[in-house]
Amino acid sequence: MRIKIPLTRFLPIFGLWLVLASCSTGRRVVTLNTMRPADITVPGSVKSVLVVDRTKFNKNLLDVAEGILTGELPGEDKAATQALIQSFRARLGNNARFTTKVAAERLDGNSISTAFPKQIPWATIRSLCARYQTDAVLAVEIFDSDFIITQGKRKTKKKVKEGNTTREVEVDEFYAKGVENLKAGLKFYVPATQNIIDQKLYKRTGTWEAGTSSKAGALAGLIQKSDATRRLSQKLGRMYAFRVSPMPVRLKRYFRGKAKKAPELEQGSRYADVAQWKEAIKVWKSGLDRAPTKEGGYLAYNIAVAYEVLGDFKSAKEWAQTSYVRYGNRDGKSYYDLLRRRMANEQRAKNQLGE
């Protein structure tokens, strides 16, 4: 049984926030919780998804050659594919738009080129969904990795102590650099409508480096290929979770903490520091009549941020407009546009969650 989790579960009236102050610039930052909509919209009828590893490749000379050229050990890509799948499921967690299961079997696919294999027959998809009691299948159909190591020697600076003095000298350093290239292709099958709603190919590169006084030490300190592949695979799994499901994220908002010609800015910010946003708004509003134009723009902008923290988007937009139109604060226009995008994104996330 799938339990519907409302958006407010993730956004408790924007209760989770943090204000950090910068004393040197007078700028403060507040962080807010929101929901980021998925890149694609999965049909509402899909309540559960089966994740299938379709990267099994029949051993032949091409596969053997790949292992020789890239240093791939048997089972490395299989383990990395599983790392991608588990990272995908872990990132979705309890906030998922749907539940996920992992198929025990592996299907023949493609682990060499970037071309997707021929689609899985719909009869097979329906059979898998019936067996695992799911509404759709997400198949990892392409997975391949290589790890290229280069070595060299370079000059580096090192601090040495001689008696009571410390000086910087130039010494030789041996280094080893590893570059991991990973490609993974995923395809999303919905049997009820016989539609492939997504086909995504990822290509990612990661670079690692180690340096020491010997060649052997540099190689010993370099990340292992299996670890490099696993890390990139996990990153791709998290990325795909964001692609198919609305996810909670944190936003940052900056506001002015003080100004010499508008003491109300600092007074109100002290209220904001202790979560008394309504009191902060009152103080900032009280300074508008006597503040110079520039500082008035700061005050109006701060008021807009406070209303956003309180969840009053309408008032936040109005004060962002005031900051720009009445006081000429260009940041007010940018903030107004940002608020519009946030409101649109949250509405889209709600629609995707079926609220």
Q: 274-286, pLDDT tens digit by residue?
A: 999 999 999 999 9
Tens-place pLDDT, residues 223-258: 999 999 999 999 999 999 999 999 999 999 999 999
Reported confidence tier of residue 14, pLDDT bands at 50, 70, 90 = very low
> Domain boundary at 215, 245, 275, which?
245
pLDDT at 68 over 50: no
The residue written with tokens 């999965």 in the block is 42
Let me know if residue 218 belongs to a domain: yes
The residue written with tokens 């592949």 in the block is 229
CB–CB of 218/208 below 8 Å?
A: no
The pLDDT, as a whole number, for residue 111 is 57
Domain of residue 27, CATH code: 1.25.40.10
**Same domain flag for 178 and 282:** no
**Same domain flag for 121 and 228:** yes
Reported confidence tier of residue 110, pLDDT bands at 50, 70, 90 = low
User: Could you give the CA distance from residue 115 to residue 204 in angstroms, rounded to a whole number?
Assistant: 16
**Same domain flag for 22 and 64:** no
pLDDT at 290 over 90: yes
> Domain boundary at 225, 245, 265, which?
245
Least confident of 16-30, 101-115, 325-339: 16-30
**Same domain flag for 320 and 233:** no
Calculate mean pLDDT across residues 263-284. 97
**Same domain flag for 111 and 191:** yes
**Same domain flag for 233 and 295:** no
Per the structure, the count of domains in the chain is 2
Reported confidence tier of residue 60, pLDDT bands at 50, 70, 90 = low
The pLDDT, as a whole number, for residue 59 is 56
Reported confidence tier of residue 176, pLDDT bands at 50, 70, 90 = very high
Domain of residue 76, CATH code: 3.30.160
**Same domain flag for 241 and 317:** no
- Considering only CA atoms, give the Rg of the chain: 27
Tens-place pLDDT, residues 120-172: 999 999 999 999 999 999 999 999 999 999 999 988 887 878 778 888 878 88
Tens-place pLDDT, residues 26-56: 789 999 999 999 999 999 999 999 999 999 8
> What percentage of residues in the chain have a pLDDT greater than 90?
75
- Write out the two tokens for 114: 């970037």
Q: Which residues contact 306 (CB under 8 A, 6 or more apart)?
A: 272, 277, 278, 280, 281, 284
Would strands 247-256 and 27-36 be described as parallel, antiparallel, or unpaired?
Answer: antiparallel
Reported confidence tier of residue 57, pLDDT bands at 50, 70, 90 = confident
Phi, psi of 43 (to 5 degrees): -50, 145
pLDDT at 18 over 90: no
> What percentage of residues in the chain have a pLDDT greater than 70?
86
Let me know if residue 288 belongs to a domain: yes
Let me know if residue 251 belongs to a domain: no
> Domain boundary at 216, 245, 274, which?
245
**Same domain flag for 292 and 238:** no
Calculate mean pLDDT across residues 332-346. 97
Let me know if residue 119 belongs to a domain: yes
CB–CB of 236/182 below 8 Å?
A: yes
pLDDT at 270 over 50: yes
CB–CB of 134/173 below 8 Å?
A: no
Residue 280 lies in domain? 7-37+257-352
- Write out the two tokens for 40: 């694609």
What integer best gives the mean pLDDT of the chain?
88
Reported confidence tier of residue 64, pLDDT bands at 50, 70, 90 = very low
The pLDDT, as a whole number, for residue 21 is 52
The residue written with tokens 């500082």 in the block is 295
Q: Which amino acid does the sequence have at 326?
A: R
pLDDT at 259 over 90: yes
Let me know if residue 156 belongs to a domain: yes
**Same domain flag for 128 and 235:** yes
CA-nearest of 161, 164, 103, 165 to 130 is 103
CA-nearest of 28, 20, 9, 94 to 266 is 28
Let me know if residue 24 belongs to a domain: yes
**Same domain flag for 208 and 97:** yes
pLDDT at 79 over 90: yes
The pLDDT, as a whole number, for residue 209 is 95
Let me know if residue 252 belongs to a domain: no
Let me know if residue 43 belongs to a domain: no
**Same domain flag for 272 and 342:** yes
CB–CB of 35/346 below 8 Å?
A: yes
**Same domain flag for 137 and 218:** yes
The pLDDT, as a whole number, for residue 77 is 84
The pLDDT, as a whole number, for residue 19 is 58
- Write out the two tokens for 220: 């010993």
The pLDDT, as a whole number, for residue 166 is 82
The pLDDT, as a whole number, for residue 10 is 42
